[in-house]
Every structure is written in C-alpha cells, then in structure tokens.
C-alpha cells in the first residue's frame, strides 16, 4: 500500500460516510448557537442574572460587535454578498448537478450559515436602530439565538437525511 492510498483512506473524500464531517457539523452549529453576534451566550446569561457591571460589559461588547458587523456590511457588503452567492452557486452546481459529494457537504454547511449571517446583520441593524439596552437587548439576543438554533436543527436534519440517502444510494466504495 503506498502513501497516497493511505492518505486518501484516512481523509476519505466521501463526506457523508466520514465521521469527521459529522463532528465538524456538530461543532459548527454548537459554536454558531453559542456565539450570539460575537458575544458568548454565557455572558448574556450572567449579565441578565447579575446586572450591574456584567450588564454594562455585555452592552459594550454587543455595541462593539454590531458596529463592526454593520461597518463591514456597509463597506464591503455588496462584494461579500456577490462572492458568497458565487461560492454557494458553484457548490450547488458541483454538488447537485455534477454529483461531487464533497461540494454537497460544503453547500449543506455553508448555505444555512449564510442565512445565519444575514440574520446576524438584520439583528445588528435592529439593535442599533432601537438603541437596545437592558431587557430589550436580552430579548433581541435570545431571539437571535433561538432562530440560529432552529436554522441549525433544520440544517442538521436535512444534512442527515441527504447523507443517509447518499450512503444508501452510493454504497461503500469498491476497493
């Protein structure tokens, strides 16, 4: 057995039968639901419970992150949107028209994350427009986290269904 064959057995480009893909999927959605607009969710909970300095720290961190997000959106949002659409279209065509399983896996990761990205931008605009602090800020961050988790659950479900379909229809690789 040569090193090339050993390397590709270790990496296994068939994504849906690879344990690493499912680990990455779980970590991506766990991380996405933990970091709400760039703020760790435990900080939101601590600020809600303790108030005072913890709440002031949360408000400062949210303000910094939404200003950063909105600045990026204003300065290069159109270019980023165009590039993201190009990348998603390329992955969708490679994956679902040409049958490249790796592209399917990347699309099933990237497309829902792009929706979360748009949701983050929308929530940041809303928080800035309302100048949300205190209880209203907690409400906005909780709602954003809930929607992110819902998108993640649907994404994991659809990915699992598609992955099972791929594994059943394609079957094991012939050695």
**What's the pLDDT score for residue 175?**
46
Mind listing the pLDDT tens digit for each residue in 99-138?
Answer: 899 999 999 999 999 999 999 999 999 999 999 999 999 9
Residue 156 lies in a domain: yes
**What's the pLDDT score for residue 2?**
73
CA 43 from chain centre, in angstroms, equals: 20
**What's the pLDDT score for residue 66?**
97
Query: Helices then strands (H, E): number in the chain?
Result: 6, 2
**What's the pLDDT score for residue 48?**
93
pLDDT beneath 70, residues of the chain? 1, 6-13, 171-175
Identify the domain containing residue 117 by its residue range: 51-169
Residue 95 lies in a domain: yes
**What's the pLDDT score for residue 15?**
78
Residue 39 lies in a domain: no
CA distance linking residue 23 with residue 109, whole number of Å: 12
Residue 6 lies in a domain: no
Shortest CA distance to 24 belongs to which of 91, 106, 147?
106
How many structural domains is the chain composed of?
A: 1
């Amino acid at each position: 057995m040569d090193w090339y064959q050993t390397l590709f057995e270790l990496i296994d480009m068939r994504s849906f039968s690879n344990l690493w893909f499912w680990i990455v999927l779980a970590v991506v959605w766990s991380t996405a639901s933990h970091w709400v607009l760039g703020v760790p969710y435990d900080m939101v909970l601590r600020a809600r419970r303790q108030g005072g300095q913890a709440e002031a720290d949360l408000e400062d961190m949210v303000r910094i992150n939404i200003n950063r997000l909105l600045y990026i959106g204003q300065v290069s949002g159109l270019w980023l949107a165009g590039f993201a659409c190009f990348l998603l279209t390329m992955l969708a065509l490679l994956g679902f028209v040409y049958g490249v399983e790796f592209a399917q896996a990347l699309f099933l990761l990237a497309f829902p994350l792009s929706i979360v990205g748009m949701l983050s931008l929308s929530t940041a605009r809303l928080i800035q427009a309302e100048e949300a602090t205190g209880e209203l800020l907690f409400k906005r961050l909780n709602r954003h986290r809930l929607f992110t988790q819902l998108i993640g659950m649907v994404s994991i479900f659809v990915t699992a269904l598609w992955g099972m379909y791929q594994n059943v229809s394609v079957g094991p690789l012939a050695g």
